[in-house]
């Protein structure tokens, strides 16, 4: 089950750097300027109501459903629209939302905010990497659609990118790279943060 795309890792790395950069910028701005409470409340309302009550395997399963299944499906629908990088809206929202929440925690209580951010960092960056891999696959799928649309209106046509091959590569990237990372991130989120919080409080 070989991924027939030599550049997918490079694209994934670029998406990952973009996500980290957006996270750091929103984190800094949020920590310094403290966004309105309404902004944070709107983010919190978007979370499952029982998220704070979930533990262990329930949290793992909910994470996989929300991030490993629903999020890629949303990105897939957006990637079918012949507009470049429209699918990356999900990527941007995730990075900025995390940055705003942690920035606000740092603004309210720097020590507690730092502890919570460090405890959440492992699963956060694994999740970002997973999203970056599927975004890399969606890039080529989206490009194949855009190329077919633009070629209809151009006299000097460029070679078409096979939708079938890009779709198959996307499935392989999702199954072999992204989904395992989402599952890993789910277990890390469920079991690691509290251990790190306890450890950091003892330092």
* pLDDT tens by residue, 167-194: 999 999 999 999 999 999 999 999 998 8
Band (pLDDT 50/70/90 cuts) for residue 203 is: low
Is the full-model pTM beyond 0.85?
yes
Beta-carbon count within 10 A of 185 CB = 25
The 10s digit of each residue's pLDDT in 38-64 is 665 565 555 544 444 556 788 899 999
Phi-psi region of 157 (alpha: psi -120 to 50; beta: other; left: phi over 0): beta
Q: Taking the CA of residue 197 as centre, how many other CA atoms within 13 Å lie in the half-sphere pointing to its CB?
A: 11
């Amino acid at each position: 089950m070989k991924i027939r795309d030599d550049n997918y890792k490079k694209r994934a790395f670029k998406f990952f750097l973009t996500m980290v950069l957006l996270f750091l910028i929103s984190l800094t701005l949020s920590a310094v300027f403290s966004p309105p409470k309404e902004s944070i409340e709107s983010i919190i309302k978007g979370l499952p109501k029982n998220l704070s009550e979930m533990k262990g395997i329930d949290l793992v399963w909910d994470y996989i459903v929300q991030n490993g299944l629903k999020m890629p499906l949303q990105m897939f629908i957006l990637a079918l629209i012949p507009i470049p990088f429209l699918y990356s809206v999900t990527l941007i929202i995730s990075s900025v939302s995390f940055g705003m929440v942690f920035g606000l925690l740092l603004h309210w209580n720097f020590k507690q905010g730092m502890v919570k951010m460090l405890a959440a960092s492992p699963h956060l960056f694994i999740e970002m990497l997973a999203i970056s891999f599927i975004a890399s696959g969606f890039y080529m799928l989206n490009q194949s659609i855009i190329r077919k649309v633009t070629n209809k209106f151009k006299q000097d046509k460029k070679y078409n990118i096979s939708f079938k091959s890009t779709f198959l590569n996307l499935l392989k990237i999702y199954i072999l790279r992204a989904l395992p990372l989402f599952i890993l991130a789910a277990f890390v989120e469920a079991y690691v943060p509290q251990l790190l919080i306890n450890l950091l409080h003892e330092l």
